[in-house]
């Protein structure tokens, strides 16, 4: 019987990390590997890592420990640890000492050269390589996985913003935009293989193309992607509030497939904290952007990221964050406790907030946002929404799930052959995270 080699890819972190993991899996196909979920029968395990918060790193270290036991049971399995955690300055030394059972170590900048590393390991031996700077030409490995309804598409890499708490610019390098024609070609290929929704990815999509001459910006790119036939929906993340232009909001308002959803991280509602975070906007400017979105797109949905317990955050600063949640009417918020990241400016700041206070603030913030999210969804009751049908619900397989253009999750009953199509769903019930709807005539 032919021996089929299996690769299991585990991913931690954001959509960029997911997209990188897809690239790695795609590279292994060239070596005869088939993707699998079963660790026990795997020939290669790839762990693509995240280091944005300490909690993610701790989980990954736990997983690397478990993989040591897997290797004791199954000595031929190869283990690759890749991505942001490995790219951190000084991390490779620490990690290789801690986990000698790992066969391949690779940072974010040399992921796209993974085939060279895998080739060396297939010959026997171990490799550890972390490039200090990226080589842009190697970064694009298009994917066209058959039948995949949704796909993430990188439009740019890196970040120039250096928010004082954030490790991302330290592990993903400076901002660089992909050429529009490459992006359009990749999306056309995805559509031909069945993809109906793309999410354009960048740490700050609003600064896409800043280096281009003649001028060509993110709104121009969105406009061109909107013309691609066969594509049903376009999403994008993340929008830095300081660079959100009127032109971009207008483009979304006028676009056909451009979903009316802005992920606009506020991080804190206090000007004092925003300044210490190096976010380069005030709460007043942020609210003026929210107002502009609602003026041009009255039904737009806005989501956000918030950090509590940033160094020096007083009770009053925190109250301003709570007030912001009510003023901005977010449909959803991703809330985090500040996590000290070595090498960032904030890690050296005085007045670090004790863990129990961070926990209390996070609980309070989550309870305020849960009510806001519930109110947002209760307002959907009785209205009709366009939903892209994604597949059976994970919690109730007799129902299907999909998302509105505003990215709200909807559960409903419909035929399985509607998967991949747009349906109109009337909302009947609402919770903080999902709404339940009905397809007329079903
Ligand atoms: N580029 C995006 C932006 O500007 O919003 C997000 C990148 S980051 C991977 C996602 C979120 O993680 C951030 O918006 C922030 O709220 C959170 N985050 C980043 N560093 C953090 C830290 N040190 N502690 C807690 N949360 C953090
Ligand atoms: Fe991190 Fe700020 Fe860049 Fe987002 S914009 S990746 S939060 S430094």
Between 112 and 251, residue with greater pLDDT: 251
Taking the CA of 277 as reference, the closest ligand is: 2
In whole angstroms, what is the distance from residue 350 CA to residue 217 CA? 39
pLDDT computed for residue 4 by the predictor: 87
Ligand 2 centroid from CA 12, angstroms: 18
Pairing of strands 422-430, 434-439: antiparallel
Phi (first) and psi of residue 363, to 5 degrees: -60, -45
Q: Is the pTM of this model over 0.85?
A: yes
Closest atom of ligand 2 to 159 CA is 3
Residues 198-226 have pLDDT tens digits of 999 999 999 999 999 999 999 999 999 99
Give percent above pLDDT 90 in the chain.
92
pLDDT computed for residue 112 by the predictor: 83
Residues 315-356 have pLDDT tens digits of 999 999 999 999 999 999 999 999 999 999 999 999 999 999
Residues 6+ apart with CB under 8 A from 181: none
Residue 135: pLDDT band with limits 50, 70, 90? confident
Closest atom of ligand 1 to 341 CA is 23
Closest atom of ligand 1 to 263 CA is 5
Residue nearest to atom 8 of ligand 1 (CA): 52
For residues 123 and 169, is the Cβ–Cβ distance under 8 A? no
Ligand 2 centroid from CA 357, angstroms: 24
State whether the beta carbon of 307 lies less than 6 angstroms from ligand 1.
yes
CA 57 → CA 50, 95, 191, 352, distances in Å?
7, 11, 35, 20
Q: Enter the DSSP assignment of 203.
A: T
From the number of C-beta atoms within 10 Å of its C-beta (0-12, 13-18, 19+), residue 150 rates as middle
Q: Look up residue 172 and give its two tokens.
A: 């993903």
In whole angstroms, what is the distance from residue 200 CA to residue 181 CA? 14
Phi (first) and psi of residue 280, to 5 degrees: 65, 30
Between 385 and 141, residue with greater pLDDT: 385
For residues 82 and 56, is the Cβ–Cβ distance under 8 A? no
Residue nearest to atom 19 of ligand 1 (CA): 166
Ligand 1 centroid from CA 204, angstroms: 12
In whole angstroms, what is the distance from residue 276 CA to residue 268 CA? 10
Residue 141: pLDDT band with limits 50, 70, 90? low
Residue 242: pLDDT band with limits 50, 70, 90? very high
Beta strands in 253-331 (DSSP E): 261-263, 301-308
Residue nearest to atom 2 of ligand 2 (CA): 163
pLDDT computed for residue 81 by the predictor: 98
Closest atom of ligand 2 to 267 CA is 7
Closest atom of ligand 2 to 167 CA is 1
pLDDT computed for residue 146 by the predictor: 59
**Quick one: which H or E segment has residue 82?**
strand 78-83
Residue 2 has pLDDT above 70, yes or no: no
What SS3 class is residue 258?
A: strand
Q: How many residues does the chain have?
A: 442
Residues 6+ apart with CB under 8 A from 43: 5, 6, 7, 33, 76, 77, 78
Question: Average pLDDT of 380-394?
Answer: 96
Residue 1 has pLDDT above 50, yes or no: no
Residues 61-120 have pLDDT tens digits of 999 999 999 999 999 999 999 999 999 999 999 999 999 999 999 999 998 889 999 999
Ligand 2 centroid from CA 169, angstroms: 7
């Amino acid at each position: 019987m032919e021996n089929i080699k299996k690769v299991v890819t585990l991913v931690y972190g954001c959509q960029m990390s997911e997209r990188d993991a897809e690239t790695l899996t795609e590279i292994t196909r060239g070596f005869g590997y088939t993707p699998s979920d079963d660790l026990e029968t795997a020939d290669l395990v790839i762990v693509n890592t995240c280091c944005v918060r300490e909690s993610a790193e701790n989980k990954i270290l736990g997983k690397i420990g478990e993989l040591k036991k897997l290797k004791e049971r199954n000595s031929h399995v190869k283990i690759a640890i890749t991505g942001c955690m490995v790219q951190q300055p000084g991390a490779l030394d620490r990690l290789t000492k801690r986990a000698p059972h790992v066969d391949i170590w690779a940072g974010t900048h040399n992921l796209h050269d993974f085939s060279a590393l895998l080739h060396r390991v297939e010959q026997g031996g171990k490799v550890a390589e972390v490039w200090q700077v990226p080589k842009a030409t190697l970064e694009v490995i298009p994917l066209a996985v058959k039948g995949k309804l949704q796909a993430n598409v990188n439009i740019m890499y890196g970040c120039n913003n250096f928010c004082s708490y954030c490790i991302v610019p330290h592990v993903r390098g400076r901002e660089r935009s992909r050429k529009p024609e490459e992006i359009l070609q990749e999306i056309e290929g995805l559509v031909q293989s069945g993809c109906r929704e793309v999410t354009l990815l960048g740490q700050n999509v609003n600064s896409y193309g800043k280096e281009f001459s003649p001028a060509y910006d993110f709104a121009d790119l969105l406009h061109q992607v909107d013309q691609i036939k066969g594509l049903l929906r376009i999403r994008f993340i993340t929008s830095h509030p300081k660079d959100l232009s009127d032109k971009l909001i207008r483009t979304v308002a006028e676009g056909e497939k451009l979903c009316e959803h802005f992920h606009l991280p506020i991080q804190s509602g206090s000007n004092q904290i925003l300044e210490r975070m190096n976010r380069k906007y005030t709460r007043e400017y942020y609210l003026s952007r929210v107002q502009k979105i609602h003026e041009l797109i009255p039904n737009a949905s806005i989501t956000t990221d918030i950090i509590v317990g940033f160094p020096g955050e007083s009770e009053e600063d925190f109250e301003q964050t709570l007030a912001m949640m009510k003023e901005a009417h977010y449909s959803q918020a991703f809330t985090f406790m500040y996590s000290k990241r070595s090498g960032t400016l904030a890690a050296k700041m005085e007045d670090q907030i004790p863990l129990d206070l961070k926990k209390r603030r996070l609980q309070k913030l989550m309870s305020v946002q849960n009510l806001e999210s519930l109110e947002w969804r209760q307002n959907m009751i009785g209205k009709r929404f366009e939903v892209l049908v994604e597949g059976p619900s994970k919690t109730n397989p007799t129902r299907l799930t999909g998302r509105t253009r505003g990215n709200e999750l909807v559960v409903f009953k419909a035929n399985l052959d509607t998967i991949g199509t747009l349906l109109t769903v009337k909302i009947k019930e609402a919770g903080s995270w999902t709404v339940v709807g009905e397809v007329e005539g079903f």
